[in-house]
Amino acid sequence: MKKILVVALSLIFILAVTSVTFAAEKQAAPAEKKEAAPEKKTETAPAAKAAKAVEKHVKGDITAVDAKAMTVTVKGKKGDVTVTVDDKTEIKVGKDKKTIADLKAGDKVKIKYHEADGKNTAKSIEK
């Protein structure tokens, strides 16, 4: 009786492990197809890649501001993030619009930015 119980439990365990493995493979396959399809589109239309960039954000203290290079570095939960500020970036303190010159190390900020071609470009900075 014990041998039958051990064999039955072993078969149930093996069945459970293989079904989880197959389910993981099925979920991974559509994700790979979705990633491959946009790459083909971006090769034909580079502007589409920039338009579909995922917006990211970071909250933390400013560790460095370089007005000449137009960059701001923020120490977030996952580490330091350096963003480039351009003329489209909105810098706000409360409801007032400000410039990069108004930012200083130690300020607590929330930055929304896009990552494209390995470069982080700030969309908005809120102090």
Asked if the model's pLDDT at residue 95 lies above 70, the reply is yes
When pLDDT is cut at 50, 70 and 90, the band that residue 49 belongs to is low
Distance of CA 41 to the CA centre of its chain: 21
When pLDDT is cut at 50, 70 and 90, the band that residue 15 belongs to is confident
Asked if the model's pLDDT at residue 46 lies above 90, the reply is no
Helix/strand/coil for 58: strand
Reported pTM: 0.57
Q: What is the distance between the alpha carbons of residues 43 and 47, in angstroms, rounded to a whole number?
A: 10
Question: Is the domain 54-126 a CATH 2.40.50.320 member?
Answer: yes
Which two three-digit tokens encode residue 94? 């409360």
Average pLDDT rounded to a whole number, residues 13-18: 81
